[in-house]
Structure 1
Amino acid sequence: MTVIVRDLRPDVRADAEGFSHVRRLALPFMLSTPESVLHDLTRSHPDAHFGQLVAEEDGEIIGTAQVGLAHDSPKPGQGSANIYVRPDRTRHGAGSLLLRAAEERLAGLGARRIHSWVLDEPHHRAFAERHGYRAGRSAHFLRLDLAQGVLPPLQDPPPGVELRTGADFAGDPRPLFALDAETASDEPGDIDTELTDYEAWLEQTWRHPLLDLGLTTVAVVDGHPAAFTAAYTDGSARYGTAMTGTARAHRGRGLAKLAKNTSLHRARAAGHTEAFTGNDTGNGPMLAINEWFGYEVCATEVRYVRELG
């Protein structure tokens, strides 16, 4: 049986379905649909040179790679290659072939450093280290049982604060872009991010097929968004938090906690039974908030890095 690596074909529905299926098996705590796979491929910024590779064995997709440049980083030459193989089809050579193809593509694009998320499990870490990668910072995946868990009671917003949904900003999302840009720049990570392109943000983030504007919740102070939690749903009973943050001028008031609690209650009322989120292990404040909600760590990833010559 021979494994081949090729580009995902956006005009072939089975490719997107196979890609999403592998991601759900390898990372069951992340939401993925064929529509989100195609969106990521076709709506990414041209400067990201984003690509999706698949490893195919006997006509079946058994592995995936997401490859691109961090075009929104102030430091040039930052590449990423995230490789995932079906848990029941490892050791068939798919991971090595995908990584080689990803590295060759990134080197050709001028990348000087490649970042790769790797599950914090012995065989995954050993794979990365065999290929010359060194471990960096880590992040937790967290899960909350919305069906059986006990959420903190809903609270009325304090005086001067109003809770709105993302749908309330459908006519003009620019204030949410400004808030997202400010909070993203403060988020801990290996690659600094500067969101400056509003039109690109509209295409990639605001129009993402997983973004649920009805469950996305925004705390507004004096008419301006001050804190928010962005909600993802995939048409099943699963709910995910894509981003939660507070403007610097309003931190320490519990507004992010207020927005996220409201979103979680709305998600449960809408029939969602599982909630997922992720946090850098160094993000103590957000980890504490999620622990307060009842989230528990369900997996950990480590960001591995390789310097190219």
Structure 2
Amino acid sequence: MTVIVRDLRPDVRGDPEGFSHTRRLALPFMLSTPESVVHTLTHAHPDAHFQQLVAEEDGEIIGTAQVSVAHSSPEPGQGSANVYVRPDRRHRGAGSLLLRTAEERLSALGVRKLFAWVLDEPDNRAFAERKGFKASRSAYFLRLDLAAGTLPPRQDPPPGVELRTAADYADDPRPVFELDAMTSADEPGDIAVEFTDYGAWLEETWEHPLLDRDLTTVAVVDGRPAAFSVAHTDGTRYGTAMTGTARAFRGRGLAKLAKNDSLHRARAAGYTEAFTGNDTGNEPMIAINKWFGYEICAKEVHYVRELG
């Protein structure tokens, strides 16, 4: 049995399905569908040089890698390669082959600092450290049982605050883009992010097939989006892609208000399971999510390695 690594073929039946299935087996806390796999590949910004690799054994996809240059960071020469192998197909060399291919391609693109998310499990961390990676920050995956859990009661917005949905901005999503750009810039992380390309954001984020505009809640103050909770859904599961508040409106509980509204509407729509993620150092947001009833279900560690 020989393992080979190749590029994902988005127009070949079975490739997007195999990629998504493998990701869900290896990382069940993140939403993935064949449609989202194809969209991410075909709508990525050209400067990201985004690639999706698959490890294949006897015609079966057993591992995946998402490879990109951090083009939206003000610091050049950074990139990422997130490698995941099916739990029942490990120790066949797929992870090593995927990582080596990713490193070669990124090195050719001028990447000198490579980041990779690794599940906080002994085998996974040992693999990363054997490859020369060093641990950096970490993040939690959290799960909420929407069916059996008890959400905090819905709250009426305070005076001057209105709750809308992302669908209300279908004709002009730029105010949502501006809020996303501001809050993303303040997210804790190893790679700084600057959103400046509205057209790219429309293609990559606003048109993403997982984005559920009807369940995404926006808290509006004096006509201006001040906070939001972005919902992703895959038909059966709900995930929070982003929750944040514009700097001028922080400390007023608007993010909590928006997320609570979105979760209540997700449960009413029939979703029974919700996921979210937090940097382990983001104690205020972790406390908010525990208030909702989320429980930590896994942890990832961000590893970094100098190339060349």
Tell me if both proteins adopt one fold, taking TM over 0.5 as the criterion. Answer: yes
Cα RMSD after superposing both structures: 0.4
2:160 corresponds to which residue?
160
Q: CA deviation at 1:10?
A: 1.3
1:171-210 matches, cutoff 5 A: 171-210=171-210
1:291 corresponds to which residue?
290
Deviation by residue 1:31-79 (Cα, 9 ceiling, x = unmatched): 0000000011000000000000000000000000000001000000111
- Find the aligned partners of 1:46 and 1:66 in 2 and give their Cα distance: 15
2:190 alignment partner, SS class: coil
Deviation by residue 1:170-212 (Cα, 9 ceiling, x = unmatched): 0000001000000000000000000000000000000000000
2:259 corresponds to which residue?
260
Q: CA deviation at 1:308?
A: 1.1
1:16-165 matches, cutoff 5 A: 16-165=16-165
TM-score of the aligned structures, taking structure 1 as reference length? 0.99
Q: CA deviation at 1:149?
A: 0.2
- Find the aligned partners of 1:107 and 1:88 in 2 and give their Cα distance: 31
1:207-246 matches, cutoff 5 A: 207-236=207-236, 238-246=237-245
Deviation by residue 1:211-236 (Cα, 9 ceiling, x = unmatched): 00000000000000000000000012
Q: CA deviation at 1:13?
A: 2.4
1:13 alignment partner, SS class: coil
Q: Which stretch of structure 1 is more off in the superposition, 9-18 or 110-119?
A: 9-18
- Find the aligned partners of 1:85 and 1:279 in 2 and give their Cα distance: 23
Q: Which stretch of structure 1 is more off in the superposition, 126-135 or 280-289?
A: 280-289
Deviation by residue 1:126-184 (Cα, 9 ceiling, x = unmatched): 00000000000000000000000000000000000000001000000000100000000
Deviation by residue 1:99-133 (Cα, 9 ceiling, x = unmatched): 00000000000001000000000000000000000
- Find the aligned partners of 2:211 and 2:186 in 1 and give their Cα distance: 22
Whichever residue aligns with residue 216 of structure 1, its letter is T
Whichever residue aligns with residue 262 of structure 1, its letter is D
- Find the aligned partners of 1:62 and 1:88 in 2 and give their Cα distance: 9
Residue-pair matches, total: 308
Structure 2: runs of 5 or more not aligned: none
Q: CA deviation at 1:284?
A: 1.3
Structure 1: runs of 5 or more not aligned: none
Whichever residue aligns with residue 295 of structure 2, its letter is E
- Find the aligned partners of 1:245 and 1:13 in 2 and give their Cα distance: 38
